[in-house]
Structure 1
Amino acid sequence: MIDFRYHLVSLISVFLALAVGIALGAGPLKESIGNTLTGQVDQLRTEKDQLRAEADHLSSNLADSRDAISALTPSVLEGVLGGRRVAVVTLGEVDSAVVDSVGAAIQQAGGAVTAVADVTAAWTDPTRTAFRQSLAGTMITYLDPAPAQDAGADVELAEALAQGLSSTSPTDPNALSENAGVLLDLLTGDSGLVTVTSPVTQPADAVVVLAGPITPVDEAVPTLAPTATPSGSASPRPTPTETASPTDSASRKARLDAWAAISQAVQRRSAGAVVVTGEVADDSLVRTIRTDDALSKLLTTVDGVRTPQGLLAVPLGLADRIAGVVGQYGAGPQATAAMPDRTALPPIERVAAQPPAEPSPSPTESAASTGQG
């Protein structure tokens, strides 16, 4: 059994060790310890100053590179789209400044924005599944070509949006088809699945899909030039409806599946499409496309749209896709190249699919042509 003397010896040992340490620290080892600590502090301060100088140098180089890209952008983009009309579709939360900058880039590339369509959270709201299925059933009769019978509501709605933005009147290449107008009315009316900044009057040749989240950042979004809304109005674009935040993997997968269906539909029903984002997150649409063998061979993607190089890549990637080249561009995961090649499309020529029917001659004209009267 341990007695009191054992505890006493332990306490004495502790105090002796403490006393020896104090004596050595205040005596023979004082200068050595102090010099060592002072040297370490000086070294850390020097390293911090060096890292700060390197960071400032890199920031300056990055700013110079961005300025150079912005300065070269007008000449690089000139004539790239050859007069193509482009619809912009936003999925999820997308900063309005990014939408405006993309519109300006399209204009500088020789294109025109025909519509800005925001797909709302109602598109994937699980409480409205039955409503969307019913609406999709109504829309099938207006789709040409119609999707497969087992396509499902997501695909049918996606095809309806794509046709609504791109279908041309058979008698006027500068007007939407009648069915396209009906489809847009169904999507933007009481259903609330889509909102548009202004009435859509012209069909798009190609589509840019902005896949959120692309949120505001501290530094300004690169803007190439002021741009107006498709109708020519200078009024500001309304803030898009935010996408509901999924709380489980099933909700996230349902959202990505619906967004992927939209991306494929606009590619199928137009001359070409490009899917664009900011940062490539693990559960983002761009990451989903790039990691899927079938989708990555069909759809072109661009990341880093908030940077000058990313913004420049949007019209270039779209022109390449119209020309038949598929690529994954940017600095994010699974990108295959930093920038698309420059492909200048030939100016587009628009002709009616069928000439308007000539009016039948009146009875008087018929009689005159045969010499009767």
Structure 2
Amino acid sequence: MIDFRYHVVSLISVFLALAVGIALGAGPLKETIGDTLTGQVEQLRQEKDALRTELDGTAGDLKDSETYIDAAGPQLLDGALTGRRVAVIALGKVPDKTQTALDQRLDQSGATVTAHVTLTDMWTDPDVRTFRQALVGQLTPYLDPAPPADAAVEADLASALVQALVTADPANPDALSNDASTLLDALSSSDNKDNPLVTVSDPVTMPADAVVVVAVPVEPVASGATPPPAPSADVVAAQVAVVSAAQKLSTGAVLADGQRGKGTLTDAILADGDLAAALTTVSGTDLVTGQINVPLALANRIGGVNGHYGFGDGETPLPPAVQLPAVSRTAAVPQDAGVGAAP
């Protein structure tokens, strides 16, 4: 058994070692230790300055590249969508900067933006699903083509929204049909006027040929911060339904998404082989490269080429060049018109 003397000897040894260390540090080793620490601090300072200089240079090069791509945008987009009419559907609140940039690129491609529509929380709120089901029953008579009888409510609403934006008056291809106007009015109002399913920035009077669906970007999470919950499966399904309806019911559609990452709609589409084969996506639309890719990707989709564009896995950096035929719009011919018809 360890006795008291052992503890005394141990304590004396500790204090002796501490005293020797203090004596050496304050005496013969003082200059050596001080010089070593000073040298290490100076080296770290020089390395930090070098890294700062390198970072500033890289940032400058990146800024120059963005400026060059931005300046080349009009030339890259010139004629890509000449004469095409495009409706823009935002799946939620999209940064104004991104929306304005996409509009600018569509304009540079020769397209005309006919509508800006934004889905509200009511579109996917589980507490108002009964209201949405009842609304679908009211909208069905105005849908042509009508969705399958077993289609989900989200698919029916998506069909109604797209048809409201692309269906032309049979007698006037430059005006919305009466049914389309009815559908849009129903979707943009509700029993509670403060909570419609969609909001429309300006009156929609002209039908679109194609559709750009803009996803809500997933915000980056700071290191150590708790990431926000990923969208539920029902929300993702409702958003995919809009993109699918836009592709099915128009001449072509593109999903314009933010940076790739957990929870993005692009990732959900690319993870599903059937969806990836049917729907076109563009990621990184918060940057000039993605913004320019949107009209180019839409031109490809109208031309029958599906693709995924960006810098992530499964994506191509730049859509191929494509030359679309000129747009031709004519009013429907009356049933009794033609050879032998009365004047």
TM superposition score normalised by structure 2: 0.90
Q: Separation in 2 of the partners of 1:340 and 1:65?
A: 19
Q: Aligned runs of 1:217-366 on 2, under 5 Å? A: 252-331=232-311, 333-355=312-334
Q: Separation in 2 of the partners of 1:356 and 1:47?
A: 81
Residues 266-296 of structure 1: per-residue CA shift (max 9 Å, x gap): 1100010110122223112111112211111
8 A Cα contact 1:103 1:113, kept in partner: yes
Q: Secondary structure at the match of 2:87?
A: strand
Q: Separation in 1 of the partners of 2:49 and 2:176?
A: 62
Query: Counterpart of 1:257 in structure 2: which amino acid?
Result: A
Q: Separation in 2 of the partners of 1:125 and 1:322?
A: 33
Please report the RMSD computed on the Cα atoms of aligned residues, expressed in angstroms: 2.2
8 A Cα contact 1:82 1:344, kept in partner: no
Instruction: Mark the runs of 5 or more structure 1 residues left unpaired by the alignment.
Output: 217-246, 359-365
The number of residue pairs the alignment matches comes to 329
8 A Cα contact 2:93 2:118, kept in partner: no
Q: Separation in 1 of the partners of 2:244 and 2:12?
A: 81
Return closer, same or farther for 1:215/1:169 CA change in 2, 3 Å cut-off: farther
Q: Could you tell me which residue of structure 2 aligns to residue 162 of structure 1?
A: 162
Q: Secondary structure at the match of 1:175?
A: strand
Residues 37-95 of structure 1: per-residue CA shift (max 9 Å, x gap): 22221221121111111111111111111111111111111111021000000012201
Q: Separation in 1 of the partners of 2:25 and 2:243?
A: 72
Query: Counterpart of 1:197 in structure 2: which amino acid?
Result: S
Q: Separation in 2 of the partners of 1:287 and 1:314?
A: 17
Following superposition, the deviation at residue 312 of structure 1 comes to 0.7
Q: Could you tell me which residue of structure 1 aligns to residue 32 of structure 2?
A: 32
Following superposition, the deviation at residue 97 of structure 1 comes to 2.5
Q: Aligned runs of 1:91-130 on 2, under 5 Å? A: 91-130=91-130
Q: Could you tell me which residue of structure 2 aligns to residue 224 of structure 1?
A: none
Q: Secondary structure at the match of 1:173?
A: strand
8 A Cα contact 1:214 1:277, kept in partner: no
Q: Separation in 2 of the partners of 1:305 and 1:176?
A: 30
Q: Could you tell me which residue of structure 1 aligns to residue 184 of structure 2?
A: 184
Following superposition, the deviation at residue 263 of structure 1 comes to 0.5
Q: Separation in 2 of the partners of 1:276 and 1:80?
A: 17
Q: Separation in 1 of the partners of 2:229 and 2:258?
A: 23
Query: Are 1:60 and 2:60 counterparts?
Result: yes
8 A Cα contact 1:274 1:318, kept in partner: yes
Residues 232-276 of structure 1: per-residue CA shift (max 9 Å, x gap): xxxxxxxxxxxxxxx866x61111100000000011000101101
Q: Separation in 1 of the partners of 2:137 and 2:103?
A: 33
Residues 16-46 of structure 1: per-residue CA shift (max 9 Å, x gap): 0101111222233333322322222122112
Q: Could you tell me which residue of structure 1 aligns to residue 23 of structure 2?
A: 23
Residues 151-209 of structure 1: per-residue CA shift (max 9 Å, x gap): 11011001000111111122211111221111111101126101101111111000011
Q: Secondary structure at the match of 1:207?
A: strand
Residues 311-356 of structure 1: per-residue CA shift (max 9 Å, x gap): 111111111111111111112x334211212323232111123348
Q: Separation in 1 of the partners of 2:185 and 2:154?
A: 18
In the TM superposition, structure 1's runs of 4+ consecutive aligned residues that sit over 6 Å from their partners are: none
Return closer, same or farther for 1:165/1:214 CA change in 2, 3 Å cut-off: farther
Instruction: Mark the runs of 5 or more structure 2 residues left unpaired by the alignment.
Output: 221-227
User: Which of the residues 212, 215, 221 maps onto 2:216?
Assistant: 212
Query: Counterpart of 2:117 in structure 1: which amino acid?
Result: A
8 A Cα contact 1:328 1:334, kept in partner: no
Q: Separation in 2 of the partners of 1:136 and 1:126?
A: 15
Q: Separation in 2 of the partners of 1:213 and 1:253?
A: 17
8 A Cα contact 2:218 2:263, kept in partner: no
Q: Separation in 1 of the partners of 2:332 and 2:48?
A: 69
Q: Secondary structure at the match of 2:294?
A: helix
Following superposition, the deviation at residue 4 of structure 1 comes to 3.3
User: Which of the residues 203, 210, 217 maps onto 2:207?
Assistant: 203
8 A Cα contact 1:280 1:287, kept in partner: yes
Following superposition, the deviation at residue 213 of structure 1 comes to 2.9
